[in-house]
Amino acid sequence: MKIFPVSLRPDFIIWLIIGFFMISGVLPVYASGTVSLKKPPASLEEWYKPANKRQVWLHTMFRLRREMQAIAVYAKNNDQEAMLKWIKRLDKDYNKITSMVPEWEEEIKPRLIPDLKMFAEKGDALRVDKTLKMIKRTCDDCHTQYQPLVTATYRSPFYNDIKLKDGNGKTQSFDDNMDQLSRSVNRILIALDDGHNAVALQASQKFVDQLQTLGSSCSSCHKDDDYPHERILGKDTGQRFKKLQANIKQGLVKDSQKLMGEIAVTVCARCHNTHRIVSDLRNALLPDE
């Protein structure tokens, strides 16, 4: 079993913890500046897109949670028939864990399911509850060790593969576009600061073009959904840029700087808060890619 040791600066740790909450809802095991996560077995890959048509592993997990809840509810209500129906389903899905990923044989305790069934048949709600808790512990143990890396590997968006097309039909990587955006923002701010309004205006046009190029990427993930593009690069942003260029032309430096601040928040930060945090986390967790 390969262990991933990730050495971290203190500010990184806080950031990682926030990230873990975001993507998994699970706190990592960490001590004195180190996080250790186990790398998931390779055979898991075939239960995720694109190797599989569906996210089979994840949907098995959702069913397991529903089954555990149903059994607990019916144990409380003393509804034996319903309990047995859901235990049968739990049996099937719990054992699917190792039929899908044989390397995880040690992680589950299949013998707990016949126990559960026996207690249900006897109407022993107390022991049903106890056994459910023992099963739950196997769920939690595996999640603590593996869930964050699995989510990062198979379910977080990946930007390196995305190719952008600029106005001249030239392709560009996501990172190059980000680098240019950041340069344009600062070129405008420097020029405004020093009263070079013609330079600021020219840089602002470049900035608009670069965002247009970035806009061509949205649909590669947000298929058939116009809302995400509208939210960040839509009408409101268009208006701000019009106003910015009018202000620069009139030499209204303070107003222009204020608008640049608004653009940085509504365009850059708004997008970074969802996309970049997850992307940076993925890159930190999976440094080999």
Residue 251 or 264 having the CB closest to ligand HEC: 264
Q: Which of 220, 239, 250, 273 binds ligand HEC (CB under 6 A)?
A: 220
The answer to whether the CB of 33 falls within 8 A of the CB of 40 is no
Residue with the two structure tokens 């945090």: 277
Residue 33 or 219 having the CB closest to ligand HEC: 219
159-178 residues in contact with ligand HEC (CB under 6 A) are: 159-160, 162, 174-175, 178
Residue 251 or 261 having the CB closest to ligand HEC: 261
Output the smallest distance, CB 67 to ligand HEC, in A. Answer: 7
Output the smallest distance, CB 212 to ligand HEC, in A. Answer: 10
Under the binding rule (CB under 6 A), the answer on residue 41 touching ligand HEC is no
Which string of DSSP letters, residue by residue, matches 230-256? HHHHSHHHHHHHHHHHHHHHTT-HHHH
82-101 residues in contact with ligand HEC (CB under 6 A) are: 94, 97
Under the binding rule (CB under 6 A), the answer on residue 246 touching ligand HEC is no
Under the binding rule (CB under 6 A), the answer on residue 279 touching ligand HEC is yes
The answer to whether the CB of 156 falls within 8 A of the CB of 278 is yes
Under the binding rule (CB under 6 A), the answer on residue 138 touching ligand HEC is yes
Give the interface size with ligand HEC as a residue count (CB under 6 A). 53
Q: Which of 39, 89, 109, 155 binds ligand HEC (CB under 6 A)?
A: 155
The answer to whether the CB of 285 falls within 8 A of the CB of 152 is yes
Angle at 52 between CA 51 and CA 53, to 5 degrees: 130
Beta bridge partners of 71: none
Under the binding rule (CB under 6 A), the answer on residue 64 touching ligand HEC is yes
Output the smallest distance, CB 35 to ligand HEC, in A. Answer: 17
Residue 125 or 211 having the CB closest to ligand HEC: 211
Whole-angstrom Cα distance, residue 209 to residue 191? 18
Residue 229 or 243 having the CB closest to ligand HEC: 229
Residue 190 or 251 having the CB closest to ligand HEC: 190
Under the binding rule (CB under 6 A), the answer on residue 260 touching ligand HEC is no
The residues of the shown chain that bind ligand HEC, judged by CB under 6 A, are 58, 61-62, 64-65, 68, 94, 97, 104, 107-108, 135, 138-139, 142-143, 146-147, 150-151, 154-155, 157, 159-160, 162, 174-175, 178, 181-182, 185, 214-215, 217-218, 220-222, 228-229, 231-233, 267-268, 271-272, 274-276, 279, 283
